[in-house]
Chain A
Amino acid sequence: MRSRLSTLFDALLPVLATLAALAVGAVMLLLLKVNPVEAYGALWKGAFGSTNAFAETLVKATPLLLVALGICISFRGDVINIGGEGQMIIGAIMATWIGLIFTDAPGWLVITLALLAGFLGGAIWGGIPGVLKAYFNVNEILSTVMMNAIAVQLMNFLLRGPMIDPSQAELASKIPQTARLIDEFHLARLAPTRLHLGALIAVILAVLVYILLWRTTLGYRIRAVGQNPSASRYAGIKVPRYMVLALLLSGAFAGLAGAVQVYGVNYRMITDGSASGFTGSAGFNGIVAALFGQLHPLWSIPASILFGALLVGANSMQRVVQVPSALITVLNGLVVVFVVSSEIWRVRRQRRRLAAAKEDEAPPTPDQAKVQTEEAGQ
C-alpha cells in the first residue's frame, strides 16, 4: 500500500512541480500588479478554450514534439544537441526546394519526398557536429550553436537570392520568402481547423522512437554509450559511430520539424532574417519539452502539448491582461527547473529504496531499469 501511494506520488511529481512553478509565476504577476487568476484564466482559455484554440495548441506542439524526439535520442546518448534551430532550417530548405521543382508530380509523392528531404537535411546538419565530436573531440554544444549561425546565413542568402519568391523579387520590399507551394502539396487538415497531418506523424514517430530506444540494438547501444562510454568500448561497441548516429538522428527529427512547418503551416519558407523568424524558436523550446518529458519519447507528447499551450496561451494572456510575453519564457524556465529538481529528488529517493531492498536481490524490474537510464539522462 505504502509503495503504491509512493508510486502515485512519483507519477504526479512533474504535475506538482508545474503547479509550484505557476505559483511562483503568480507571485511575479502580483508584483506586476496583475490578477493572477485572471491572467491564468486568459492563458487557459487561449490554449484550450475552444476547438480552434486547442487545435492551435497542437499545431504549436507539433514541431516541439518532433524536435524533442531527436533530443531524447541525443541526450540519451550523452551528446547535447543545441542545433535544433539550424537543423530545422536546413530541413525546411531541402523540403521546400523539392516542392518548388517537382510541380508536376502527384501530391503524395512530393510530400513524401519533401519530408524525407527534410529528414536528410537535418541529418546532415546534425551529423557534421557528430563527426566533429566523435572523431575530432570538438565540443558539440559549441559546434551545434555555430552550425545554427551558419544555417541562418545560408537561409538568408537563399531566401533573398536564388530561392526568393519571384513576385517579391520584383517588389522593393524583398521580403525573404520562397514562392507558395501549390495546394496539392499541403499536408492534409485533420479537422476544420489549422491542425494538420504533421501532428499525427509526430505522435506515430514518438512511438517509433520509443521502440528504437528501448527495443532495438541500435537504441540500446546509443543509450549504453551515453551511460558509460568506456564500458561500452570494452563491450565492443564502436563508441564514435554511435555518437555520430545519436546526433545525426537528433538532427534528422529537427529537420523533419522544419519540413512539417513548411508543408503543414506556412506553405512556404519565410523569415525575418533571424532563425526564430522561421522556427519560432521551436528548435530551442523542443529541448525544454524533452527535458520536461524526462527524455522519454512518449512523455514528450504531453510535455510538448503543455509548452505549446503555454506559447499559445501566452499570446492571449498578453492581449487580455497586458503582461510581457517574456514572463512566459521565465515561466517555461521555472517549470523546467522545478521539474528537473523534483526528478533528481525522486531518483535519489528511489535509489535509497533500492539500496534498502538490496537483500532480496531479484533481476531488475523494468521500473528499476528505467530509473537507471534516467539517472544517466541527467
Chain B
Amino acid sequence: MNQETLLVGLAGVLAAAAPIIFAVLGETLSERAGVINLSMNGTILLTAMSGFAVAYTTDSLLLGFLAGMVIGALVALVVAFASITLKQSQVAIGFVLALTCRDLAYFLGNPFMGVSGPRLQAMPIPALSAIPIIGPLFFRQELSTYISYIVIFLAWLWIFRTRPGLMLQGIGEKPAAAYIRGANVNVMRYVYTVIGGALIGLAGPTYSLGVRAGWMGTISGLDGIGWIALSITIFGGWNPARAAFGSYLFAFLQWLGLVLQPVLTQVPSQVLQVAPFPLMILTLLLVNIGDAEWVERTLAAMPETTRKFMAKLLRAMRASPPAALGVPFERD
C-alpha cells in the first residue's frame, strides 16, 4: 500500500466517523443531563431515510439535514416527555421507539429504495488542503466532516469550560443540589435531550447524503450503528474528546477490516464483519473493570509497584456514568 492510498483510506476513516460522532455526542449531552435516549438505533435509520427522502424530493441538501435534525429532536422529545413528565422507564420507552422508528424507516422508505439522489461533494479548504499529508487527510472532506470537528470542540468547551456546562454536569450528577442552586432541572433535561436528539438526527443524513449516499432499506447496513454509538458513549466516559477518540477508533477498525479482507482470504467474511462487536464488548470490559470488587481485592494483594501501575492504568481507562443517569427528578 503506497502513501497515496493510505492517506485516502485514513481520510475516509475521518469521514466515516463523522455520523458516529454526531450520534455519540448527542447521546453524551442527553446522558450528561440524566436522560438515556435508547431510541438512537431507530432514530439514525429514520433520519437517514427521511433526510434522503427530503433532499431527493426538494433537491436541497440543507433541507435534508434539517429534516433529520427535526425528526431526531421530535423522537427525543417523546423520550423526554415519557421519562421526565410521565416518569416512565427510560429503557422501556427508548427501546419501543428504537423498534418503531426502525420499522417506520423501512416502511416509509420503500419508494426511495435504491434511487440515486443528491449527495454532499468534497469541499477542499483552499490553502489548508495544499499542506502535504495534513491537507489530504483533514481538509479535503465533505462539509459534514468539518462540522464534526467543530462539534467535538464545542461540546467539550460547553461541558467543561462554561457555566451552563457546569450546571449540566450538576443536573446529571446531583440534580437536587443543582435545583437548590437555581437550575430548573426538568426544563434543562428537556432542553438537553432535545438538542442531543437533534445531533443524533444529524447522523442519519450524514450517512444517507454523504458517507453511504442513498437509501437501501434493510441492506443499508445502518441497523446496529446506534447500538455501537451507545457503547462508544460509555467508552467515551461522557467526555466529548474521549468519545470522539472512540468513534475514530471504531471507524478505523472497520476500515482495517475492509482492507484486510482481500489479504486474509481464508477467514470467512463474517468474522471481519462481526469483529467490531466483540471488540466493543472488550473495550466496555476494560473501561469498567476497575470498578469490579474482585479486581480491587486482587490489586490489594499485588506487590507495591505493580499495584500502583495497574491502579493507574485502570483509572485511566475507567469511565463512570453521571450519578443520576436514568433517575427521574422529584422535588420533595
How far, in angstroms, from A296 to B139 measured CA to CA in the complex? Answer: 57
Choice from A142, A149, A324 contacting B234 with Cβ under 8 Å? A142
Question: Dominant SS at the A interface?
Answer: helix
Residue pair A142, B231 in contact (C-beta under 8 Å): yes
Residue pair B99, A136 in contact (C-beta under 8 Å): no
A23 within 8 A of B: no
Binds B, one of A101-109, A112-120, A205-213, A325-333: A325-333
Report the minimum CB–CB distance from A19 to chain B (whole Å): 19
Interface membership of chain A positions 62-100, coded 1 if the CB is closer than 8 angstroms to chain B and 0 otherwise: 000000000000000000101000000000000000000
Residue pair A142, B284 in contact (C-beta under 8 Å): yes
The B259-295 residues at the A interface (CB cut-off 8 A) are: 268, 270-271, 273-274, 277-278, 280-281, 284-285, 288-289, 291-292, 294
User: Known interface pairs A149-B274, A156-B270, A157-B270. Does A330 touch B231 (Cβ–Cβ under 8 Å)?
Assistant: no
- Number of residues in B with C-beta < 8 Å to the partner? 42
Give the chain B neighbours of A135 by CB distance below 8 A: 292, 294
B89 within 8 A of A: yes
Give the chain A neighbours of B108 by CB distance below 8 A: 324, 326
How far, in angstroms, from A141 to B294 measured CA to CA in the complex? Answer: 22
How far, in angstroms, from A145 to B226 measured CA to CA in the complex? Answer: 11
Give the chain A neighbours of B280 by CB distance below 8 A: 142, 146
Residue pair A150, B92 in contact (C-beta under 8 Å): no
Report the minimum CB–CB distance from B202 to chain A (whole Å): 22
Residue pair A291, B92 in contact (C-beta under 8 Å): yes
How far, in angstroms, from A95 to B93 measured CA to CA in the complex? Answer: 34
Give the chain A neighbours of B231 by CB distance below 8 A: 139, 142, 146
Give the chain B neighbours of A368 by CB distance below 8 A: none
Residue pair A138, B107 in contact (C-beta under 8 Å): no
How far, in angstroms, from A290 to B119 measured CA to CA in the complex? Answer: 43
Give the chain B neighbours of A281 by CB distance below 8 A: 99
Residue pair B92, A340 in contact (C-beta under 8 Å): yes
Residue pair B99, A145 in contact (C-beta under 8 Å): no
A153 within 8 A of B: yes
Give the chain B neighbours of A252 by CB distance below 8 A: none
Interface membership of chain A positions 42-69, coded 1 if the CB is closer than 8 angstroms to chain B and 0 otherwise: 0000000000000000000000000000
User: Known interface pairs A146-B227, A329-B99. Does A138 touch B88 (Cβ–Cβ under 8 Å)?
Assistant: no
Give the chain B neighbours of A139 by CB distance below 8 A: 231, 234, 284, 288
How far, in angstroms, from A281 to B289 measured CA to CA in the complex? Answer: 32
Give the chain B neighbours of A137 by CB distance below 8 A: 288-289, 291-292
Residue pair A145, B100 in contact (C-beta under 8 Å): no
Residue pair A138, B284 in contact (C-beta under 8 Å): yes
Interface membership of chain B positions 81-119, coded 1 if the CB is closer than 8 angstroms to chain A and 0 otherwise: 010001111011101110110011011100000000000
Residue pair A80, B91 in contact (C-beta under 8 Å): yes
B230 within 8 A of A: yes
Report the minimum CB–CB distance from A87 to chain B (whole Å): 15
A143 within 8 A of B: yes
Q: Which partner residue on chain B sits nearest A325 by CB separation?
A: B107
The A123-177 residues at the B interface (CB cut-off 8 A) are: 132, 135-139, 141-143, 145-147, 149-150, 153-154, 156-157, 161
Report the minimum CB–CB distance from A33 to chain B (whole Å): 16
Residue pair A142, B292 in contact (C-beta under 8 Å): no
Residue pair A154, B270 in contact (C-beta under 8 Å): yes
Residue pair A341, B92 in contact (C-beta under 8 Å): no
Residue pair A149, B277 in contact (C-beta under 8 Å): yes
B218 within 8 A of A: yes
A288 within 8 A of B: yes
Q: Which partner residue on chain A sits nearest B87 by CB separation?
A: A344
User: Known interface pairs A135-B292, A153-B270, A157-B268. Does A146 touch B107 (Cβ–Cβ under 8 Å)?
Assistant: no
Residue pair B277, A150 in contact (C-beta under 8 Å): yes
User: Known interface pairs A145-B227, A341-B88. Does A329 touch B278 (Cβ–Cβ under 8 Å)?
Assistant: no
Task: Tell me the B residues contacting A by CB distance below 8 Å.
Answer: 38, 82, 86-89, 91-93, 95-97, 99-100, 103-104, 106-108, 218, 223-224, 227, 230-231, 234, 268, 270-271, 273-274, 277-278, 280-281, 284-285, 288-289, 291-292, 294
Task: Tell me the A residues contacting B by CB distance below 8 Å.
Answer: 80, 82, 132, 135-139, 141-143, 145-147, 149-150, 153-154, 156-157, 161, 274, 281, 284, 287-288, 291, 324-326, 329-330, 332-333, 336-337, 340-341, 344, 378
9 interchain pairs (CB within 8 A)? A138-B285, A139-B288, A142-B280, A146-B278, A150-B274, A284-B95, A326-B100, A329-B103, A344-B86
Q: Give 20 new A-B contacts, CB below 8 A, not counting A146-B227, A287-B95.
A: A132-B284, A135-B292, A135-B294, A136-B285, A137-B292, A139-B231, A139-B288, A142-B227, A142-B234, A143-B281, A143-B284, A146-B277, A146-B281, A153-B271, A154-B270, A329-B99, A330-B100, A333-B96, A333-B100, A340-B92
Closest 5 CB pairs of A and B: A137-B288, A326-B107, A153-B274, A153-B270, A333-B96
